Amino acid sequence: MGMFINSFIRHAQIVKMANLAQLVNVIAPIFTSKDGLYLQTIYFPLAEYAKQKGNQSLNVLVQSPEYKPDAGRALGYLDVSATYDLKSKQIVLNVLNRSEKVDITSRIDNVSGKLSNSIDVWELNNPDLKAAHTFGDDAKVRPATRKSNVALNENGFEYTFPKHSLTILKLKVN
């Protein structure tokens, strides 16, 4: 889910409306029955990305280790998009680490405005890549949130993105 939405954000200048069949078909974000409901894992990224509606899409330069999933071109393990909320002066950095086995540490630099060293972290991950929710058992994969302080160096910092995770960092800019 993160790759699709990151792509929509990165191409916001041409993508004016996008539909995902998964929102209503087989892997809908909310499953219901006469006895109740449960939230699929894809619900959480959709809900978090929705908070960025109306934000300005930012250009990002991404350098990360690469892999070649098929006979096509190589892809970076880190799939990234970013938005900026003018009202709150906040950058939202959406990072999907596609590596199944390796945490990836990356340098994050900002070229316009001074970053705060306090960040909000939203992270969705689970050691079991096949973990799935069911009726009565819908707490296996939930996002974790926390505040963190980073060591700023020349208006940037290093951050480690856990293997097979979606991490959303919220950064204040002065």
What's the pLDDT tens digit per position in 106-165? 999 999 889 999 999 999 999 999 998 888 888 999 999 999 999 999 999 999 999 999
Going through 53-114 in order, the beta strands assigned E by DSSP cover 56-58, 66-67, 75-76, 78-85, 90-97, 104-109
Apex CA 148: angle with CA 138 and CA 40, to 5°? 15
Q: Any idea what the Cα angle at residue 72 is, between residues 68 and 73, rounded to 5°?
A: 65
**pLDDT reading at 21 higher than 80:** no
Examine the pLDDT at 26 and tell me if it is beyond 90: no
Q: If pLDDT is split at 50, 70 and 90, which confidence band does 166 have?
A: very high
Q: How far apart (Å, rounded) are the C-alpha atoms in residues 16 and 11?
A: 9
Neighbours of 93 (CB within 10 A): 19
Summarised one tens digit per residue, pLDDT across range 79-88 is 999 999 999 9
The predicted model gives 57-72 an average pLDDT of 90
More confident call, 29 vs 57:
57
pTM above 0.95, yes or no: no
